[in-house]
C-alpha cells in the first residue's frame, strides 16, 4: 500500500506538495516520487511490497510514454494478467503497477474488470490531456478529490488533499455532519469538508477540460438471490466456496516481504489462516492482542486455533486502558471524523504485526457477505413481525415506548416503520433516540441516515429478504466507510499492509446470489461459511459467542477520557459551529457519569466531532 496525490490545472507549490507528502509518510515510508509536466503533478509515497527494486518506483510511465500512473494497493492476479499480454508490452519491472499501466494502455477503463485487488489509482493520458482516477470494487482503498474552478486534485487522505489546494472550501459539510452523527462515519461521496468528495467504491472518474464524468463499473445492488440454490446439495456448495476462498487466499499470499495474518479465533480469521497454511511451506505467522480483563479477552480462542492449525502465533497481552496510549495516533491518523473505537485494538494488533511482517491478511468481509452480524437475525425477526396486522404492531409499540429498559424502547422505534431500510438505519445508528443533541437547524436542512438507506435499498431487487437488505446496506456503507477505513488507516498508521481475501469480488458476487437459508439457519449465523471452517478446525473450538474488538468506552468516558471529554464539552463556539445542542449533550454527559444510562456511543460521536473541529479550526 502507498499514498498517492496529484493536481491538474492548479499552480504548483513545492511547499504544498512537501506538506501533502508528509501527511502520507506512514503510508509510504520506503520512497517518494514526483512527476511534473505542464500543469500536471503526480505524487507517490511508496511502501515496498512487490518488486522492491527502483524499477517499480512511482510515478511510473508507460513504455510508449503516453501514460503516467500513481497507484495505491495491490493487483493480486497481476502475474496471470501479465502472461496474457507479455508479447504486446515490453515490461521493465516485476511490479503489479506496470501491469496496471499495460492493461490500461491496451483496454482503457475496461482494464478494471480484469483486476482482482484493492486499489486507488490515477493515470494521466498525455495525448488526450485526460486524468483517470479509480477505486476498487468494495472500497478497500480510499480516494478523495476536489474540483475547483479549472483545477482538480486527488489524494489518499483528506488532510493531504487540503494541503494541495489553496482556497479549498474546508467548511463543515452539514449533510456529512448529520450522517456522521447518526452513523458514526461519513458515507461516500460525501466527506466532512464541503469542498472535498470521496470517490465511491466501484467507480472511476475521467477529468478533462470539458468537465468531470463518473462511471460505476461494478455493483451488487441489482444482483438477486438465486432461489434454485435453496435445494442444492450442501457439499457441492461447500466445494464451490472452498475453491473460491482457496484461490483468493493463494493470490493474496504473493509478496516480496514477510507476510502474516490477524487471528482472533473467530470464523473469518480462522478460515483465512487455514487456507494460508495450505499455501505456505512454513508456519504462517499469526497475531492477536489479549486483555487482562477477561470481559474483553479472546486471546485464548486465537491460541487454540493457532495450535490446531500449527501457525507461529504471537499474542501481546495488554491492560485495556493501555489502548488509551494510542489516542494521539487515533487523532492524527484518522483525519476525518471517525467513531468506531474498535480502531484502538486494530492499531494495537497492527503495531504488533509490523514488528515481524509488512503484510497481514484479515477476515474482513465475511460477516457482510455470509450473514455474521446479529443485526441480520434481528431483521429476519422484524420481517416476521411485519406480517402481523399494523394495528397490533402499533399497539405493542405504543406500550414498549414507555418501558423503563432503554433497549426495549429502541425496539419500539424499530417497529414504527413499515420499511425495513429505515428500521435497519436505526439499528445501525450510533445515537439511536438521542437525535435531540442535534439542533433543529441541522435536522431540518439535511437528510437522515434512514432516508439514505431507504434510497439505496430502492435499488435492490424486489422481494429481497429483510436480512439480505441489511447485508447489502452494510456492503454499501458500513463496510467501506467504517470497517475498511478503520483497518486501512489503523494498519497504515504503522506502515502495515492489510489484505482481505474474503472481499475478493468473485466471493462477494457468489455470496450475493446465495439464498438466506445458507447464511442464517436455525439461529446460526454464517451457516455455510461456518460449515467450511469446521473442515479445518473442530467446532468445539469455533462455536462461541462473537466478540470482535471491543473496548470499554462507557467506562473510559467515566475514567481515562473524562477530563478530555469535559474540556471539549466546554467549547460553546464549537457546539454552535457544528449546530449541536450543548445543553442536551451536557445533560446526557451528566446522566452517563451518574450511571443513570449508557450514553457512551452518542457521547463519543459528539466528542470525536468536537475534537476534529478543534484540531482543524482552533489550532490554526
Based on its alpha-carbon atoms, the radius of gyration of the chain, rounded to whole angstroms, reads: 24
* 363 assigned binding-site residue: yes
Annotate 549-607 with three-state secondary structure. Answer: CCCCHHHHHHCCCHHHHHHHHCCHHHHHHCCECHHHHHHHHHHHHCCCCCCHHHHHHHH
* 133 assigned binding-site residue: no
Helix, coil or strand: residue 49: coil
Residue written as grid cell 476462498 = 245
* 96 assigned binding-site residue: yes
Q: In what order do the strands lie in the sheet with 117-125?
A: 60-61, 67-75, 117-125, 130-135, 203-208, 211-216
* 289 assigned binding-site residue: yes
Dist. CA 22–CA 162, nearest whole Å: 13
Dist. CA 401–CA 410, nearest whole Å: 8
Which residues contact residue 2 at a Cβ distance below 8 angstroms, ignoring those fewer than 6 apart? 27, 28, 44, 45, 46, 47, 58, 70, 71, 72, 73, 156
Catalytic residue (one of 2, 162, 203, 315): 2
Chain centroid to Cα 127, Å, comes to 35
Enter the C-alpha cell of residue 73. 494497493
Residue-by-residue DSSP string for 1-19: --EEEEEESS---HHHHHH
Q: Would you tell me how many other CB atoms lie within 10 Å of the CB of residue 61?
A: 17
Enter the C-alpha cell of residue 466. 429483510
Strands (E), 88-178: 117-125, 130-135, 144-148, 151-155
Question: Is 203 assigned a catalytic role?
Answer: no
User: Which residue ranges make up the annotated binding site?
Assistant: 96, 289, 362-363
Residues involved in catalysis: 2
Annotated binding residues for L-glutamine, written as ranges, equal 96
Binding residues for ATP: 289, 362-363
Amino acid at each position: 500500500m502507498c499514498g498517492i496525490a496529484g493536481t491538474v490545472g492548479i499552480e504548483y507549490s513545492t511547499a504544498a506538495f512537501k506538506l501533502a507528502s508528509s501527511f502520507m509518510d506512514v503510508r509510504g515510508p520506503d520512497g517518494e516520487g514526483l512527476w511534473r509536466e505542464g500543469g500536471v503533478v503526480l505524487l507517490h509515497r511508496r511502501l515496498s511490497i512487490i518488486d522492491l527494486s527502483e524499477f517499480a518506483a512511482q510515478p511510473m510511465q508507460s513504455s510508449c510514454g503516453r501514460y503516467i500512473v500513481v497507484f495505491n494497493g495491490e493487483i493480486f492476479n497481476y502475474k496471470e494478467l501479465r502472461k496474457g499480454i507479455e508479447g504486446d508490452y515490453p515490461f521493465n519491472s516485476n511490479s503489479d503497477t506496470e501491469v496496471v499501466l499495460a492493461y490500461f494502455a491496451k483496454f482503457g477503463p475496461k482494464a478494471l474488470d480484469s483486476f482482482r485487488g484493492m486499489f486507488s489509482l490515477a493515470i494521466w493520458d498525455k495525448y488526450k490531456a485526460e486524468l483517470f482516477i479509480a477505486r476498487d470494487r468494495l472500497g478497500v482503498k480510499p480516494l478523495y478529490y476536489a474540483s475547483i474552478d479549472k483545477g482538480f486534485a486527488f489524494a489518499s487522505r483528506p488532510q493531504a488533499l487540503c494541503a494541495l489546494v489553496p482556497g479549498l472550501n474546508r467548511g463543515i459539510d452539514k449533510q456529512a455532519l448529520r450522517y456522521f452523527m447518526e452513523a458514526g462515519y461519513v458515507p461516500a461521496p460525501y466527506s466532512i469538508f464541503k469542498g472535498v468528495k470521496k470517490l465511491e467504491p466501484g467507480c472511476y472518474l475521467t477529468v478533462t477540460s470539458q468537465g468531470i464524468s463518473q462511471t460505476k463499473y461494478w455493483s451488487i445492488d441489482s444482483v438477486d438471490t438465486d432461489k434454485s440454490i435453496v435445494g442444492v446439495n450442501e457439499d457441492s456448495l461447500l466445494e464451490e466456496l472452498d475453491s473460491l476462498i482457496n484461490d483468493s487466499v493463494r493470490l493474496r499470499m504473493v509478496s516480496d516481504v514477510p507476510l502474516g495474518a490477524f487471528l482472533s479465533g473467530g470464523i473469518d480469521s480462522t478460515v483465512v489462516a487455514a487456507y494460508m497454511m495450505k499455501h505456505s511451506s512454513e508456519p504462517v505467522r499469526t497475531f492477536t492482542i489479549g486483555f487482562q480483563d477477561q470481559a474483553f479477552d479472546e486471546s485464548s480462542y486465537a491460541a487454540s486455533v493457532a495450535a490446531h492449525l500449527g501457525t507461529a502465533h504471537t499474542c501481546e497481552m495488554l491492560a485495556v486502558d493501555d489502548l488509551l496510549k494510542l489516542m494521539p495516533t487515533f487523532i492524527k491518523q484518522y483525519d476525518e471524523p471517525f467513531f468506531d473505537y474498535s480502531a484502538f485494538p486494530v492499531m494495537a494488533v497492527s503495531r504488533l504485526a509490523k514488528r515481524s511482517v509488512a503484510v497481514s491478511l484479515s477476515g474482513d468481509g465475511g460477516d457482510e457477505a455470509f450473514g455474521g452480524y446479529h443485526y441480520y437475525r434481528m431483521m429476519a425477526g422484524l420481517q416476521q413481525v411485519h406480517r402481523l396486522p399494523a394495528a397490533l404492531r402499533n399497539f405493542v409499540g405504543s406500550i414498549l415506548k414507555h418501558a423503563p429498559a432503554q433497549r426495549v424502547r429502541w425496539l419500539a422505534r424499530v417497529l414504527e416503520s413499515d420499511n425495513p431500510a429505515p428500521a435497519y438505519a436505526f439499528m445501525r445508528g450510533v445515537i439511536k433516540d438521542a437525535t435531540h443533541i442535534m439542533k433543529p437547524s441541522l435536522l431540518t436542512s439535511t437528510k437522515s441516515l434512514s432516508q439514505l438507506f431507504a434510497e439505496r435499498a430502492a435499488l435492490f431487487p424486489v422481494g429481497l429478504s429483510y436480512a439480505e437488505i441489511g447485508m447489502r446496506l452494510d456492503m454499501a456503507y458500513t463496510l467501506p466507510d467504517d470497517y475498511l477505513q478503520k483497518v486501512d488507516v489503523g494498519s497504515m498508521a504503522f506502515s502495515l499492509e492489510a489484505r482481505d481475501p474474503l472481499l475478493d469480488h468473485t466471493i462477494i458476487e457468489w455470496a450475493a446470489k446465495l439464498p438466506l437459508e445458507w447464511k442464517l439457519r436455525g439461529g446460526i449465523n454464517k451457516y455455510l461459511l461456518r460449515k467450511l471452517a469446521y473442515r479445518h478446525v473442530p467446532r468445539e473450538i469455533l462455536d462461541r459467542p462473537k466478540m470482535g474488538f471491543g473496548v470499554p468506552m462507557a467506562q473510559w468516558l467515566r475514567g481515562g477520557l473524562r477530563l478530555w471529554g469535559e474540556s471539549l464539552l466546554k467549547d460553546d463556539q464549537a457546539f454552535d459551529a457544528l449546530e449541536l445542542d450543548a445543553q442536551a449533550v451536557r445533560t446526557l454527559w451528566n446522566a452517563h457519569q451518574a450511571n443513570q444510562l449508557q450514553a457512551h456511543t452518542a457521547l463519543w460521536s459528539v466528542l470525536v466531532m468536537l475534537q476534529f473541529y478543534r484540531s482543524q479550526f482552533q489550532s490554526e
